[in-house]
Amino acid sequence: MIGYILTQEQYDQVQGQFINPYQFINCVQDINDVWFFFGNEQDKEAFKDTEYMWLFDLPQGEYIPKPSPPFPHDNRIQ
């Protein structure tokens, strides 16, 4: 999956910010603790008149998710 790469400072600036009353920015970290923002053409339209349109000018890279935590083991089951 390809996403837009953010620095820690850029992440701190945009994480949780609303672009309208119904949408907010939510970034995720990859396996290497790099921050990513994901947006498509429809999102670009929603962002076009906001101060955050620059997110779509960031460099792009491949997002590799962190592994899921192990499922808790239930010691009661034998």
- Residues facing residue 2 across a β-bridge: 62
Question: What is the C-alpha to C-alpha distance for residues 36 and 71, in angstroms, rounded to an integer?
Answer: 26
What's the pLDDT score for residue 22? Answer: 92
Kindly tell me if the per-residue pLDDT of 20 is higher than 80. yes
pLDDT digits (tens, 9 = 90+) for 27-52: 999 999 999 999 999 999 999 989 99
Question: What is the C-alpha to C-alpha distance for residues 42 and 29, in angstroms, rounded to an integer?
Answer: 23
Look up the pTM and report it.
0.84
Sequence spans of domains, the chain: 2-62
Question: What is the C-alpha to C-alpha distance for residues 71 and 43, in angstroms, rounded to an integer?
Answer: 34
